[in-house]
Structure 1
Amino acid sequence: MARLAAKAVSKTYGATKALRRGDLEVEAGEVHVLIGSNGSGKSTLCKIVAGSVRPDNGELLFEGHPMVVSGPNAARKIGIGIFYQELSLAPHRTVAENILLSDLPGGVFVDRKALNTKAQRYIDLFKNVTGDNFHAGAIVETLRPDQRQLVEIMKALSSEAPILIFDEPTSALDRAQVDRFFEILRELKDDGRSIVFISHRMDEIFALGDRVTVIRDGETVATKRIAETDAAEVIRLMVGGDETLTAAEPHQPTAVAATAKTVLAVDALSGDGFGNVSFNVAAGEILGLGGLHGQGQSAVLRALFGATPPTSGTVLLNDKALASSSPRATINRGLAYISGDRRRDGVIAGRPILENVTPVHALKQRLSLATPSSLREKAKPALEALRTKFAGFSHPIGSLSGGNQQKIVIARWLIDRPDVLLLDDPTKGIDLQAKTDLFQLIRKLAAEGMAIVLYSSEDAELLGNADRILVFNGGSVTRELTGADRTPFNLYQAAYEAA
């Protein structure tokens, strides 16, 4: 009998089906790996089991008995602990307080000595790999990313739960830390604990797992014993076919002629989150940046734009050196940057649509004064090209849907055509029709000679639109896919096996 079972679990957010049918059975004394592409439903299934998300349908069983997980506290009482991919630490509290956060007493009277002594048990598990200045009394916000990740792992371990879920726990850890963590998990498995482990790294899956469950497009498609499968079969299950699969989108990009002028040349670029990245982009070319999420793709684009300037390397724009010292400087040289995080990098909250669509135009044209009517006339062609739906320029940006807000952000860069368009996961959180409109326009801009660099967390967007795809891992380019090599299998293989 499985210790934990999820049967036909589903979850929908509006029109988005995050999980169509999630099935999972976890035995006592095993490490059960969950794998699937970005957005396949892995994390949603785990959050449902851990009580932080309520399912729409389906059944959860603990040791054969139905269970209702009304929230995280209820899950902990049942015996389920979880490490969340998005760290849930209290930055102003100490390491010890964060490790024992769920059991921390209220009020100001806390027995610090007893608290630190109890937390030290979990800190000692990672002795010699935590790094400098890591101790029970250290404030979490002063720690490095890898140290904060260790605190989150320790917090999950402190639950002493018979079922532990780890959602990509090794993403920020170094090799020594990963090795020690795996030793701990093997010891827990030998003690009879059940471990659910989400990872994108094939080496981790085959080094640690006993069984693997593959989720594709929100549905559990297979469970295999690790000893009876291999990386190629797992990737085929994730893709949904064989190695000859072609791009999922109907549009097949046409390769840019070898004689096309190089617009952007990047050589040995390094910075925060990436190193020694080199590539060229020609006029009329869409260059895709692929690979698992957070492997340096966004960091490279932000560095080129000057949001986080690079530390070394050279960039040529139209054969002249580009100093990515600030966004203002790169905008004036002909770069445009569109982020999928429109709240952070896009919309000007609380302001009218006209003010949101025209600031780049005002900067590039050095406008000190301009009439609203003249600005409206400048903005209309770009908005119409994107089929933007809005009642009037004076309406607040917040009155629009997410997709139309993103169209406003994109349109602001197209009033005065840039030489290079940097797209940083631009369709994140927008509807299918808005995506379709955006990519139709992107292909049209490329056909007119614009150089475009596209990072997308959705593989189908890259396969359907990019002439070439550079696969990133660990902050560097590990493989280039061109022509007939641009298939889902090759993209998955490059991303996951490189990992």
Structure 2
Amino acid sequence: MARLVAKAVSKTYGATKALRRGDLEVEAGEVHVLIGSNGSGKSTLCKIVAGSVRPDSGELLLDGKPVTINDPQEAKTYGIGIFYQELSLAAHRTVAENILLSNLPGGVFVDRKQLVATASRYIALFDGVTGEGFSAGATVEALRPDQRQLVEIMKALSTEAPILIFDEPTSALDRAQVDRFFDILRRLKAEGRSIVFISHRMDEIFALGDRVTVIRDGETVATKRIDETDAAEVIRLMVGGESAGMETAARAPAANKAAAQTVLSVGNLSGVGFHNVSFDLAAGEILGLGGLHGQGQSAVLRALFGASPPSSGSVSLKGEPLDANSPRATIKRGVAYVSGDRRRDGVIAGRPILENVTPIHALKQRLALAAPSSLRDRAKPALEALRTKFAGFGHPISSLSGGNQQKIVIARWLIDRPDVLLLDDPTKGIDLSAKTDLFQLIRKLAAEGMAIVLYSSEDAELLGNADRILVFNGGGVTRELTGADRTAFNLYQAAYEAA
């Protein structure tokens, strides 16, 4: 008998059907992977199981018995714990307080000694991979994104729930952190726990899962045993049989790359998190930044954009010095930056889509006033190039799925084409279909002569799209992979050998 069953669960928000028919069966001692495009309904299904969303119809069963879960607290009494994709931490509280936030020892008068002792048990599970500055007494606001994600994972583990749901828990983690987390999940599975795991990373799905359920357009379309399927079949199920554009074979550099004009030149650049980074970037080239997460790749891109100015070194754009002292200055010189952290660096929360897609155009053109119809006309080609799905320019950005929000962020830079496009893990947390659209456009932009720097935490994205790859380790470039050397083996070797 399945421990958890969801039958024909549905949820509608106004005119939007978030979930048409969600079906899921999870056994005891199983890691059950849930996969689907952004907006397909997988997160909605998990929130229904966890009590944070009330379904419109359908049935939930625990150990064969129908249940109604009205809120997260009730879900907890039924033995259900969840890690939410959007972190729910208290920034000014300590790591220990956040881990045990729903069950502080002592209640109103917190037993601090017991708090630290209990939280330390979960911190110890990740001993050696949490990074500098991570401790029970550290405040969450002082932590890096990967460390905050670890706190959220520890928070879910601390529930000791028989059923644990993890909604994209590895998006900000490096490989060592992911490996440790997977070891923990395998131990929990061996203890008989039931684990629902959402991920967009195909390697994680096949490394960890026992079965996979695919949701497409709000409906469960199939459940397969992991050892009886492959990545190609899963992708076909996700996109309805159309898998074109998902090839990950290494991109062959164009024959004229060597003769192309150097657009961006970086010499011995150093700053917080990186040192002595040098490279030249040609027109029409896609330069990949590889290596383990947090080895300086993002810091270099933010420095080039002026968000975190470098402490030393030189940068020139089209032969002229680039003073990267502020984003405003670099934008005016033709530099664009897209972050994978769309909430921090991308979307303008609470504002309509038109305002989210046109601010860079307004800055570049020095527009004090502009007719909305004129702005819509300028924005449409960029949005269409990315195959962005939205109901209207007046709708709030929050009405879109994560993948379409990211397309809005990218489109804002393409209304007035930049000379250099800096991509800082731009596909983090978006679905495979959105990734396909994005990389098709990136290759097209490069073919038209745009110079592109791409950092990705997914090796397949670098191998499939970059002309060459600079592998980072400890804040510096340890190896450059070109031509036939651009292989997964060489990339892994270069990333791990000095780690």
Normalised by the shorter chain, which TM-score bucket?
0.5 to 0.7
Give the partner amino acid of 2:378: A
What is the aligned counterpart of 1:240 among 231, 236, 240? Answer: 236
- CA RMSD for the aligned pairs? 6.0
Partner of 1:212: 211
Give the partner amino acid of 1:246: A
Q: Residues 290 and 73 of structure 1: is their aligned pair in 2 closer, same or farther, counting only changes over 3 Å? A: farther
The range that moved more, 105-114 or 75-84, is 105-114
Q: CA deviation at 1:478?
A: 12
Q: CA deviation at 1:345?
A: 5.4
Q: CA deviation at 1:97?
A: 2.2
Q: CA deviation at 1:424?
A: 7.6
The answer to whether the aligner puts 1:94 opposite 2:87 as a matched pair is: no
For structure 1, the residue ranges without an aligned partner over 5 or more in a row are 249-254, 363-369, 389-397, 429-437, 483-493
Q: Is the 2:305–2:336 contact (alpha carbons within 8 Å) kept by the matching residues of 1?
A: yes
Distance 1:442 1:183 in 2: 36
Distance 1:71 1:91 in 2: 24
Distance 1:288 1:13 in 2: 42
Q: Residues 350 and 160 of structure 1: is their aligned pair in 2 closer, same or farther, counting only changes over 3 Å? A: closer
Give CA-to-partner distance per residue, 1:321-349, whole Å, 9 cap, x none. Answer: 53433223323433345779599557699
Partner of 1:488: none
Q: Secondary structure at the match of 2:230?
A: helix
Q: Secondary structure at the match of 1:151?
A: helix
Give the partner amino acid of 2:231: I
The answer to whether the aligner puts 1:69 opposite 2:69 as a matched pair is: yes
Q: Secondary structure at the match of 2:160?
A: coil
Distance 1:92 1:207 in 2: 36
Partner of 1:386: 379
Q: Residues 188 and 468 of structure 1: is their aligned pair in 2 closer, same or farther, counting only changes over 3 Å? A: closer
Give the partner amino acid of 1:52: S
Alignment of 1:33-432 (within 5 A): 33-36=33-36, 40-104=40-104, 109-126=109-126, 130=130, 134-173=134-173, 177-201=177-201, 204-209=204-209, 211-215=210-214, 217-218=216-217, 219-226=219-226, 228-229=227-228, 233-240=229-236, 245-247=243-245, 261-264=261-264, 285=284, 302-309=302-309, 315-337=315-337, 341=342, 358-362=362-366, 384-386=377-379, 402=397, 418-420=418-420
Q: Residues 214 and 304 of structure 1: is their aligned pair in 2 closer, same or farther, counting only changes over 3 Å? A: farther
Q: Is the 1:290–1:456 contact (alpha carbons within 8 Å) kept by the matching residues of 2?
A: yes
Distance 1:469 1:53 in 2: 45
Q: CA deviation at 1:193?
A: 1.6
Give CA-to-partner distance per residue, 1:283-327, whole Å, 9 cap, x none. Answer: 5x5969899xx9999766544322234678875422445343322
Distance 2:27 2:268 in 1: 48
Q: Secondary structure at the match of 1:31?
A: strand
Q: Secondary structure at the match of 2:32?
A: strand
Give the partner amino acid of 2:188: L
Distance 1:408 1:184 in 2: 36
Q: CA deviation at 1:3?
A: 0.3
Q: Residues 479 and 7 of structure 1: is their aligned pair in 2 closer, same or farther, counting only changes over 3 Å? A: farther
Q: Secondary structure at the match of 1:308?
A: coil
Q: Secondary structure at the match of 1:32?
A: strand
Give CA-to-partner distance per residue, 1:73-123, whole Å, 9 cap, x none. Answer: 121111101122332222222333222211238985323334344434434
Give the partner amino acid of 1:240: R
TM-score (normalised: structure 2): 0.64
Distance 1:343 1:316 in 2: 28
Q: Residues 165 and 414 of structure 1: is their aligned pair in 2 closer, same or farther, counting only changes over 3 Å? A: closer
TM-score (normalised: structure 1): 0.64
The range that moved more, 22-31 or 196-205, is 196-205
Partner of 1:432: none
Distance 1:408 1:33 in 2: 29
Q: Is the 1:222–1:237 contact (alpha carbons within 8 Å) kept by the matching residues of 2?
A: no
Distance 2:335 2:33 in 1: 42
Identity of aligned residues (%): 62
Q: Residues 260 and 9 of structure 1: is their aligned pair in 2 closer, same or farther, counting only changes over 3 Å? A: farther
Give CA-to-partner distance per residue, 1:218-276, whole Å, 9 cap, x none. Answer: 444443334x24xxx4321232179994349xxxxxx8976664534668988778999
Q: CA deviation at 1:7?
A: 2.7
Q: CA deviation at 1:196?
A: 1.9
Q: Is the 2:214–2:223 contact (alpha carbons within 8 Å) kept by the matching residues of 1?
A: no
Partner of 1:433: none
Distance 1:156 1:409 in 2: 33
Q: CA deviation at 1:443?
A: 11
Give the partner amino acid of 1:84: Y
Partner of 1:490: none
Q: CA deviation at 1:42?
A: 3.7
Q: Is the 1:286–1:467 contact (alpha carbons within 8 Å) kept by the matching residues of 2?
A: no
Q: Residues 325 and 239 of structure 1: is their aligned pair in 2 closer, same or farther, counting only changes over 3 Å? A: same
Q: CA deviation at 1:27?
A: 0.7
Q: Residues 204 and 472 of structure 1: is their aligned pair in 2 closer, same or farther, counting only changes over 3 Å? A: farther
Partner of 1:395: none
Q: CA deviation at 1:33?
A: 2.8
